[in-house]
Amino acid sequence: MTGIVALYIFMLAAFTGYEIIARVPVILHTPLMSGSNFVHGIVLVGAMVALGEAHTPLEKSIGFIGVLLASGNAVGGYVVTERMLEMFKASGARAKKEVKEAP
Amino acid sequence: MSESSAAILIEASYFVTAVLFIMGLKRMSSPVTARSGILWAGAGMLVATLVTFLYPGMTNYEFIIPAIVIGSSLAWWSGKRVAMTNIPQMIALYNGMGGGAAAAIAAVELYRGGSPGPAISTLAVVGGIIGAVSFSGSAIAFSKLQGLIKGSLRFGGQKFLTLIVLIGALALGALVASGFNTSPAVVTGIFVAALVLGVSMTLPIGGADMPVVISLYNALTGLAVAFEGFVLNNAAMIIAGTVVGSAGTLLTQLMAKAMNRSLGNVLFAGFGDSAVAATGEATSGSLKPIEASDVGVMMAFAQKVIIVPGYGMAVAQAQHKIWELCQLLIDRGVMVKFAIHPVAGRMPGHMNVLLAEAGVPYDLIADLDEINSEFETADVALVIGANDVVNPSARLDKSSPIYGMPILNADKAKNVIVIKRGKGTGFSGIENALFYLDNARMLYGDAQKAAAELIAAIKAVG
């Protein structure tokens, strides 16, 4: 990847992130922060590569900690986001049910 | 599979992952599609992780697999059992882990040495510093919200220390990035300085400002991941990291705006320093206690009741009882609404999550802009465990440290009932002028117990 292409990717991805968030309602701020926290768990693939190419014991130890932390980021981020968003769905369904039950 | 076809498969999979992440985040920004959003993003993560095992020249599988298994199981276990009230600090924790991982990648690359060129070295160093700051800073944020560290620690020359450590980290980083001195000792120095920087930046910040700080560290981790992505020439990391970096920055600004605090103010000003001096003015008058039975009668014969829930309600796990109370009132024909301040709970949107957990339907929950004009027509405003967000000083008292913060105008309701454990001040340590108003009554006690008493009182009315 040449420098200028890398710069273009960086710029376009930055605009994309901004556009996605720009019109989000306050009620979703916490789940969305949690969701974006999950997305940067992609650092796991980098940590895997770093450990996979490590040679000395020092590199291996740091790489091991990196993979450990990164998988915590990815899995933990997924679990808490999913738990939160699942409740949002349930609350909508329950609200509808109650409207129907009302005389 | 040959190396070149593996490389093509990896590139293609990372492309799919990037698309899934962006679509997933997009879906997460609307309540209707939010749940499918996390599933899309999760699928992307799974694809990227699996395909990375095929990376040409990978070794050390005997370390990679256990690390993933241990890290994932611990995170899965903790994520499944954490209470919804503690979600903000768990986000801080997982985010810090991501920052630490980015710093670890930088450390492996920098200790290995070699000469990848000044641009790549600079990105590795800067990403490593940001990741390490996010790691230690998030750890402090977690400890504060979890109650492991109480209060905000400040000492003379703290800002000076922070500045020195920052300059130190950058100077050592410049030595390594320029290739002038890439010895392991200097590399270690960068990371030590960056870790200290994260601690000394976060310690002075008060608990009320923590959501903004967590959001900022979330954005920083994204940026660190993107930078390390450039180092590893990994498109998935570059795109996902950059998207999170910019989205997180905007989210941080939105949160700071909801709290009427500028980002600079959160990071560099000691909140609460001026509060002690400024509280004297509004606290004339007295606190007037009331019995639950009287409140029950008042609410049972009201036409409109607005509930203002705060974090205190969630801590007492009272949201289920409160919803039960509201259902009783609704059955009697009372109009009930919930008024949510943007920072009710520990971060914007947190209270909506907690109410959703208790089963409160969407259409009863209103945000600040929708509900504020309605307080004047409400017979009862029931404030449960909320404090600063209903403090009229924010509107009236220019000397108050929270002056200018948008608040819920609960003071304009005909009767204000405040359920509160004791006479202490709120999270910011500011005295609340609302409690001393003529139309305000205090119902002392634990929110859950008080709600149970109110339910009994309303049932007694018949």
Pairing mode of beta strands B365-367, B415-420: unpaired
Among the listed residues B135, B330, B461, B34, the one whose alpha carbon sits nearest the alpha carbon of residue A70: B135
What confidence score (pLDDT) does residue B20 get?
96
What confidence score (pLDDT) does residue B283 get?
57
How far is B410 from chain A, CA to nearest CA, in Å? 20
Residue B240 with chain A: CB contacts under 8 Å: 39-40, 42
How deeply is A90 buried, as exposed, middle or buried, from its count of CB atoms within 10 A (0-12, 13-18, 19+)? middle
CB atoms B58 and A48 under 8 Å:
yes
For an interface test with B, the pick among A1, A30, A61, A78 (most B C-beta atoms closer than 10 Å) comes out as A30
In this structure, the dihedral spanned by the alpha carbons of residues B411, B416, B417 and B421, taken in order and rounded to 10 degrees, is 20
Confidence of residue B428 (pLDDT cuts 50, 70, 90): low
pLDDT tens, B6-35?
889 999 999 999 999 999 999 988 877 888
What confidence score (pLDDT) does residue B369 get?
83
CB atoms B108 and A51 under 8 Å:
yes
How far is A8 from chain B, CA to nearest CA, in Å? 11
Q: Which of A58, A63, A79 sits opposite B75 (nearest CB)?
A: A79
Nearest residue in A to B351, CA atom: A27
Confidence of residue A98 (pLDDT cuts 50, 70, 90): very low
Distance CA A64, CA A48 (A): 9
Q: Has residue B319 got a pLDDT over 90?
A: no
pLDDT tens, B49-69?
999 999 888 899 999 999 999
Q: Which of A18, A71, A95 sits opposite B361 (nearest CB)?
A: A95
What confidence score (pLDDT) does residue B185 get?
92
For an interface test with A, the pick among B26, B74, B109, B243 (most A C-beta atoms closer than 10 Å) comes out as B243
Catalytic positions of B, written as ranges? 388
Q: Which of A28, A48, A83 sits opposite B52 (nearest CB)?
A: A48
What confidence score (pLDDT) does residue B278 get?
40
Confidence of residue A28 (pLDDT cuts 50, 70, 90): confident
What confidence score (pLDDT) does residue B17 get?
96
CB atoms B34 and A31 under 8 Å:
yes
CB atoms A13 and B226 under 8 Å:
yes
The stretch B397-408 carries a mean pLDDT of: 80
Nearest residue in A to B103, CA atom: A66
Q: Has residue B281 got a pLDDT over 80?
A: no
Residue A58 with chain B: CB contacts under 8 Å: 111
CB atoms B101 and A67 under 8 Å:
yes
CB atoms B234 and A24 under 8 Å:
no
What confidence score (pLDDT) does residue A92 get?
44
Confidence of residue B72 (pLDDT cuts 50, 70, 90): very high
CB atoms A42 and B240 under 8 Å:
yes
pLDDT tens, B331-343?
998 999 999 887 7
Distance CA B154, CA B172 (A): 27
pLDDT tens, B201-217?
998 887 778 888 999 99
Confidence of residue B122 (pLDDT cuts 50, 70, 90): very high
Percentage of residues of chain B with pLDDT beyond 90: 48
CB B380 within 8 A of CB B335: no
Residue A79 with chain B: CB contacts under 8 Å: 75-76, 79-80
Q: Which of A30, A46, A70 sits opposite B348 (nearest CB)?
A: A30
The stretch B162-183 carries a mean pLDDT of: 90
Residue A51 with chain B: CB contacts under 8 Å: 60, 63-64, 67, 108
The stretch B95-117 carries a mean pLDDT of: 91
How far is A89 from chain B, CA to nearest CA, in Å? 7
The stretch A21-28 carries a mean pLDDT of: 78
CB atoms B28 and A35 under 8 Å:
yes
pTM: 0.82
What confidence score (pLDDT) does residue B43 get?
96
CB atoms B246 and A14 under 8 Å:
yes
Reduced to 3 states (helix: H, G, I; strand: E, B; else coil), residue A56 is coil
Q: Which of A25, A50, A87 sits opposite B353 (nearest CB)?
A: A87
Lowest mean per-residue pLDDT among A51-55, B253-257, B288-292, B435-439: B253-257
Of B97-106, B296-305, B411-420, give the range with the top mean pLDDT.
B97-106
- Determine the Cα angle at B205 with ends B203 and B209, to 5°: 140
